[in-house]
Amino acid sequence: MMKNSKTGRYQREGKWQIMIHGESYKPIVAEAAKKSADKIYNRIMITHLLIDENNENRVGGAVGFNMRTGDFHIFRSKTVIVAAGGASHIFKPRAVGEGMGRTWYAPWSNGSAYALPIAAGAKMTQMENRIVLCRFKDGYGPVGAYFLHLKTYTQNANGENYEKKWYDHTKQLVGEYIDHHPTPTCLRNHAFVQEVMAGGGPIQMVTKEAFQDPHLETIGWENFLGMTVGQAVVWASQNIDPKYINPELTTSEPYVMGSHATCSGAWVSGPEDLSPPEYYWGYNRMMTIEGLFGAGDTVGGSAHKFSSGSFTEGRLAAKAAVKYIEDQKAINIKVSKKQCENFREIIYKPLENYTVNRNEITGGTVSPSYFSPIQGLQRLQKIMDEYVGGISVNYMTNENLLKKGLELLNWLEEDLENIGAEDYHQLMRAWELKHRAITSQCVTEHTLFREETRWPGYYYRGDHMKLDDDNWHCLTVSRRDPKTGKFNMEKMPVYHIIGDEEKKKAS
């Protein structure tokens, strides 16, 4: 935690937030995990969940491979907790060419948190609810500490408060939600996007005032040097000193995640003491597949978890998983050698594709029989960007675009049988892409199903531009049939468990 050197108290960014050294916090948590575990397996990519052959709706473990040695690993288990990261790089990033790894959300988060349960037939919720971030341009440097702690603000190129200009326009789309305090993130994005489209860009963060205070200037630089060094490097390369020049902002490509400000993820059981019947089926954080639990990015419908909430959700899931076993719910699980061997063949097929077909290439990298993970990733990103509401179209989509996107994603899924990997690292890339692709299908199906624009500034349904509480004040839930690959969509009710009076008391 960061402390004030004069008072000795924790430094606050805002009413609810205490500044943390995230790069120090994570090793501390990892060390605690190491001490509590009997055995830890590192550098193993889990590609598939095993299913109980006595009960096709019960998990039986997981399989994967070691990314250094290539060893095949079978984990037979009574329960599984999925706690992988969400999905970056499914939409085309603003940083391209040699900078394409630069994103806001972790570049290695490839959607395994979603792909594993989706492929097994677990229900997912709110997968349309992707997030777009306002960030410092090119380095994706975060703006939260600047807004909250340094008390900076934004303006357009003419020095105007552009957000006020778009108040009436936004109110026509979302009604009273524009008057919520603080203003919802997506609506601030909406004003940003509209102002740039109207010719008011570039949008800038006013840092010149705050940086006149040496203490605030130090905090401003430390915010990047401890977390996003690339932003400081970008400013240095462009001769930008935020004490004298207001840096430019941009909006990021969309990300799919369940731990930040969005609700994407698995449809899991809530706690016994608070949950309505539709939200509860026996064990807290268990998915619709028995014995399969989630935490963090994996779990949908519980946004604003961040680090501490994800950590807490992990504890909840672990305790519930132990209780599930103690209650004798995990007896007589059957996972045959045949099931494991089938997955072994599937996992290593990209290596075989490359070995068998590489001799057909006479020059360059284009093969008539296989394609590389990077080629497939760029194809996926182009589809999602242009048809499902990415940066190239200012986050705009519609029914016809989404249906065409699904068609192209289905073609990609078929072609992924021909992906090639020349080594174990590329095999990892191949499976990252496969996980991103199935996650993208789910995102597109959800976006097609919700016929409204619930989050202007994150994405727009051009054919349903207004928020529609009468028909869509609900949660969306999907299930992909593991046998056919077809998605089934349904609505689930939203319950305001904490009412307005309780909210006032809590605050």
* pLDDT tens track for 51-100: 999 999 999 999 999 999 999 999 999 999 999 999 999 999 999 888 88
Q: What is the DSSP string of 213-270?
A: SHHHHHHHHHHHHTT-HHHHHHHHHTT--TTTSPPBEEEPPPBB-SSSS---EE----
Neighbours of 423 (CB within 10 A): 12
Buried b (16+ CB within 10 A) or exposed e, 489-504: eeebeeeeeeeeeeee
Q: What residues does CATH 3.90.700.10 cover in the chain?
A: 134-251
* DSSP 8-state secondary structure symbol assigned to residue 11: P
Whether a cis peptide bond, with omega within 30° of 0, leads into 182 is: yes
Q: Return the CATH number of the domain spanning residue range 134-251.
A: 3.90.700.10
CA–CA gap between residue 280 and residue 283 (Å, rounded): 8
Q: Return the CATH number of the domain spanning residue range 22-124+277-326.
A: 3.50.50.60
Rounded CA Rg of the chain:
24
**pLDDT band, residue 228 (cuts 50/70/90):** confident
β-strand pairing of 123-125 with 265-266: antiparallel
Statement: 337-358+365-493 belongs to CATH 3.40.50.261:
no
Share of the chain above pLDDT 70, in %: 95
Torsional class of 332: left (φ above 0), alpha (ψ -120 to 50), beta (otherwise) = left
Neighbours of 298 (CB within 10 A): 33
Q: What residues does CATH 3.50.50.60 cover in the chain?
A: 22-124+277-326
Q: What residues does CATH 1.20.58.100 cover in the chain?
A: 337-358+365-493
Residues 6+ away with beta carbon under 8 Å from 274 = 497
- Looking at this protein, which amino acid is placed at residue 151? K
Whether a cis peptide bond, with omega within 30° of 0, leads into 214 is: no
Tens of pLDDT, residue by residue over 424-471, are: 999 999 999 999 999 999 999 999 999 999 999 999 999 999 999 999
Q: In the prediction, which pLDDT does 14 show? A: 65
Judge contact between 137 and 186, C-beta under 8 A: no
Reduce the secondary structure of 386-415 to three states and give it as a string.
HHCCCHHHCCEECHHHHHHHHHHHHHHHHH
Among 203-207, 222-226, 476-480, which stretch is predicted with the lowest mean pLDDT? 222-226
Three-state SS at 19: coil
Residues 6+ away with beta carbon under 8 Å from 130 = 91, 254, 255, 256, 262, 264, 389, 443, 458, 459
Q: In the prediction, which pLDDT does 264 show? A: 97
Instruction: Please give the model's pTM, rounded to 2 decimal places.
Output: 0.94
Sign of CA dihedral 32, 35, 40, 42: positive
**pLDDT band, residue 28 (cuts 50/70/90):** confident
- Looking at this protein, which amino acid is placed at residue 299? V
Q: In the prediction, which pLDDT does 21 show? A: 63
Closest CA to 478 of 449, 436, 453: 449
CA–CA gap between residue 273 and residue 280 (Å, rounded): 10
| DSSP H or E stretch at residue 461 | strand 460-461
